Every structure is written in structure tokens, then in C-alpha cells.
A and B are shown apart, each in its own frame.
Chain A
């Protein structure tokens, strides 16, 4: 069977992008170059533009000519690249996720791209097959592949419409999301304010006496400016990232769609979900909010494609989370933690020791530096800074440990295990028992005598982080947890 060529609109699209990519450096040359000869300036920038633009035009034409795809009953094949050509074959039965993406500029040219992933661990950060062509063709391929890969035999399943939207990220939710992030950033702005004031006071401009008022005013302008910029940026980012965020479900598949400039539609089988994580930052928790994420095999946490591919619910009320999960993923509702953390002091004991050693080492380095360059004033300022920062971190750790002690726990039934952990940033992971690999026991000599153990749960996923740690629990819990693992 003959490979299908990509749409010729690709050439126009890539030339369009190439034009702006080449224009920017050419304009930069005009701005940066210091010469009074206008003719020379124009010639040089034109030369830069042509040198950058021409290869992109050539590449666009060759890319369209030599790239293609083919969809058969059994597999999908794509060929891409000009200098480095890549041919990808992917059996339809191995496809675990099909995603359609359309950027703003692609929309102008009625183009879209289809990203097909097999769930291979080695290429978890990339999709195996990417086809970029006419939007209508992409829609046709999308429907064909979804229908084709959900059937176990040659029979084609009846097309079933997705149910009504199970979750929609409303404007109110987005506003709360922006506000909570802004409150977090406010803390940073306050620290920035004090930092600038103190630095301005300690290190005034040359020849001038230290002026606290001026320092405070400058610090005020900078930190307010930073907060305002953050607010505007965050508002725009959230609106673009979570534009029309919807979750739909059909039989054994989940569809999550979102995005304004790049519209993304992720479809994956429910069986590919390895774990569900309910997370909340300190400020989210203060106001009773959480976020829900998915660990899906084949996708790496933190991918840069708008909203992370595994975000199920960007933000919702804590009291509503089980209701949402009941509608979308009933197998992943939370359980109460039967086994809670036993003791507080172990959460900070090693931190105290570690901070003490760090304090000693840093102060010795300071002394060494002060003696070496004969500047003993740096002992005072440096000591104040370093010791102050370490003390601040230690106080933060003590508060975090208090929160962690009250929240940490494990609950399980015949089907799943639920792990609660975290201090300022809290996480609850729900993992099906069939996805458990092993449970690691971690303790120290002293903790073992008190019957205090930490457990590291290793589970089946191909994210970079494949384990969940839960601290300071009962010793006899280990034998109970071992029974959950199939040997």
C-alpha cells in the first residue's frame, strides 16, 4: 500500500513560521549593530534574514515531499524528517493513547497533529508516532484509530458517543486557582521586600550613607511590580492552559480536552491508569481545595504541553473530590487511613542533626574565607545570612513535620491501597493492588527499638518517580502490607 503524503498546507504553515523565526534575528541585528551607514545595516539584516529563511523554506518543501503516513487494519506507519529520517511502525493493538493537538497557527492553516503513544517506558516523554496534516484528515484518522484499537479482533466496534461532560473547569474554579497561586507568590514577594531593604541598607550606593527609607521604597516597588507581573502572567497562563477543560468518558476510555492556543484532546484507556494522586499545596488546603492528577503509563510527569497530560481535575473542593472520582473513576475513591503516623520527633531528628552539621561547615568556611582575605566584617554579615536562612529552614521544617505527622497514614482494602503523606504540600496516592511491585521497609537502629518504620511503596508506572514514601508507621504493618503483594 502506498504511503499518503502530508497536506501541502504544511509548506505554507512552516514557511509562515519560518518567516517570523527569521525576522526576529534580522531585527535584532538592526537594533544591536552600531553603524551610521543605513545601507550596510539593511544589507546585513537582509543577509541574516535570507540565510535563516531560505533553509526553512527548503526544509518545508522537502519535509512535505518526503514525509507520509499509512493506516492499515493492523498498524499505523509514519515517516518523518528530511536529513534524519524516522520511520515508525506501531501496531494498533499496542496503542494506548491517541491525542489530537491543534495550535493557534495550525488552526489558521486548517492543520492539526495526531500524537499516538504506545506506553513504551523508554520513550515515555515522547509519542511514538506524530502525524501533522489537514485537520479533517486528522479527525478521520483519530476516529478510525480509536475505533480500530479498542477492538480485540477484526470487528469494528459500534461508534459510541462520549457521555456528557463529567467535569468542566469553570470560570470560578480558574479564578480560585489564580488567587491561590497569587497568595503563594505573595509570600515570596514579602521575602523579596525584606531582602532588598536589608541589602540596600547594608550595601548603599558608592559614596552615600545607608538610607533605610529609600531601601524600603525601592523594595516596595520591586516586590509589588513582581507580584503584579505574576498575577497577570498567571491569569493569562491559566486561561490559555485550561480553556474549556473537560473530562468525558466512554466505555473504557477517558477523554480530557483543554487549551486555547494549542487545543489538546487526550484519549486513553482506563486500564492504563496506574495511580490517582490528590494533591494540595499549603494555601490550597487552607481554603479547602485539592487537585487530582493521573499516573498514566506512557506519560511522564511534568510534560510541557499545556496542562500536564495527567491532570484530571485542576482544582476542586476537598469535600467534592470523592463525588467527582465516583463519577469519573469509581475504582479510585479514597479510603480513610487506618494506620496513622506514630511519632513526631523522628520527622525532624535527622534534620536537626543535618542543620547542625551544615551550620558548622558553613561557619568554618566563612572563617576560612575571612582569614584568607582578611575581611572580618563578612563573618558578621555572612554569618547573619547563612545562620538566619538555616534557622528559617529549620523552623519551616518543624512546622511541616507537625502537619506531616497529623496527615500521614495508610488505608487499604481488597482492591487498592491509599497512601497519605506530606507536610506543607500534601499528597494522597490511590494505587490498585495489581499495580504494586514491592514494599520497602526503612528504619534506623533507634527507630527500630521504638517500633517506628517508614515504608516505600514501589508501583508499576513509567514515570520518573515510581515510589511513594510514607513515614513513621507501626512495625507490624509491614507484614500486613506484604500480604497485598502477589509473589
Chain B
């Protein structure tokens, strides 16, 4: 399946942004708490220290907070009877086409935050590597897994007939 072929790509469930932001905000709060604790404990040259560490904090925290929206905008996927296509990545853009016949097993994962927002992630295991579709609605995820299983059975039947 070449890149030129048209396909309708789907985006991840919007609730995944909430999950990602919650994680990033928790991490940012930990970094800010560390920053404040350092300033409070150090008695000498407080202002200079606050400025230096403040710049460091900005370098770390600002990308953390804008990254999820960039990631969400880039992530797309689609699938049919023979292919699963995933486009992802912000700076390094990944495009992969996975043959359905190479699927070995399928897994659905849900973290506590994902459970809260009724979304799940799908992990597609092949004999080579694992691939994932980060977050879809829980019911859509179940349907997707069923579809993959049906498509895989069809491919395996095809192979048996061909033999």
C-alpha cells in the first residue's frame, strides 16, 4: 500500500488530551514544588538563584504543556481488511503500514485516568515488534479488536486455500 493511495484517517478520541494533560500537569507541579522548596531552603543569593532556576524550569515545563496538543494533532490511524496504518510523531513523523496477516496477538490497555474518561489503548503485537493506537473510545476499541481478529482469520483462511 503506497503512500499515494487514498485512505480515510481517523483521529484519537479527544478525551486522550485530558489524560495526557493531567499527567503533564502533575509532573509540572512536582517540578514547580521542587523549585519553590529550593528557593525557600537556600538563604544566600535568593534572587539570582530564583532567576537561574526559573529559566531552567521554563525550559522544562513549557514544552511539557504544549506537547500533548501537538501530539494529538499529528496522530491519525486507519485500517481495512489487509492494512493498519498509523501516522504519529511531532518532530520525527512516523508513518507505518502493518499487514493484518502479521498480527500475533492484540491487547487492550486502560490506565486509571483512561478508565475515568472511558478510553482505551490498543497494542498490536507482531512477530517483529509491537505497535499501538494510543487512545480510542472503549467501545470502539472492542470493535477494532474484533475487526482485526476477523480480518486476520480471513487472511489465514486465504493462505490455507492458496497452499
Contact = CB atoms under 8 A, between A and B. Distances in A.
Interface of A: 121, 350, 357, 360-361, 364-365, 367-368, 371-372, 374, 437-445, 448, 456, 458-462, 466-467, 478-479, 482, 485-487
Contact of A479 (B2, B45, B93, B102): B2
B83 A487 contact: yes
Given A486-B101, A487-B82, 18 more contacts: A357-B59, A361-B59, A368-B52, A368-B53, A372-B42, A437-B129, A438-B126, A441-B96, A442-B95, A443-B93, A445-B93, A456-B96, A458-B126, A461-B127, A462-B127, A466-B129, A482-B2, A487-B100
Contacts of A121: 127
Interface in B91-114: 91-102
B129 to A, nearest CB: 5
Given A367-B52, A371-B49, A466-B129, A437 B102 contact: yes
Nearest to A465: B129
Interface residues of B, number: 34
Contacts of B126: 437-438, 458, 460
Interface in B6-57: 38, 42, 44-45, 48-49, 52-53, 55-56
A461 B1 CA distance: 23
A466 B128 contact: yes
A467 B45 CA distance: 51
Contacts of A460: 126-128
A438 B94 contact: no
- The 10 lowest CB-CB distance pairs between A and B, nearest first, are A437-B128, A458-B128, A440-B96, A460-B127, A479-B2, A466-B128, A441-B95, A487-B82, A364-B56, A371-B45
Given A460-B128, A487-B82, A487-B83, A440 B52 contact: no
B89 A442 contact: yes
Nearest to B91: A444
A374 B44 contact: yes
Interface string B120-161: 000000111100000000000000000000000000000000
Contact of B99 (A360, A361, A438): A438
A144 B25 CA distance: 63
Contacts of B95: 440-442
A371 B52 contact: yes
A365 B35 CA distance: 12
Contacts of B56: 361, 364-365, 368
A441 B85 CA distance: 11
Contacts of A466: 128-129
Does more than half of chain B's interface fall in helix, strand or loop, or is it mixed?
mixed
B127 A438 contact: no
Contacts of A440: 94-96
A368 B38 CA distance: 10
Interface of B: 1-4, 38, 42, 44-45, 48-49, 52-53, 55-56, 59, 82-83, 89, 91-102, 126-129
28 contacts: A361-B59, A364-B55, A364-B59, A365-B56, A367-B52, A368-B49, A371-B44, A372-B38, A372-B45, A374-B44, A437-B98, A437-B127, A439-B96, A439-B97, A441-B3, A441-B95, A442-B94, A443-B92, A458-B126, A458-B129, A460-B127, A460-B128, A461-B127, A461-B128, A466-B128, A487-B1, A487-B100, A487-B101
A298 to B, nearest CB: 12
Contacts of B82: 487
Contact of A371 (B48, B59, B98, B100): B48
Nearest to A460: B127
Contacts of B97: 438-439, 482, 485
A447 to B, nearest CB: 9
A444 B94 CA distance: 9
B94 A441 contact: yes
Contacts of B44: 371-372, 374
Contact of A364 (B52, B98, B101): B52
Nearest to A478: B3
A46 to B, nearest CB: 54
Nearest to B104: A121
Contacts of B45: 371-372, 374
A486 B99 contact: yes
A221 to B, nearest CB: 41
A360 B128 contact: no
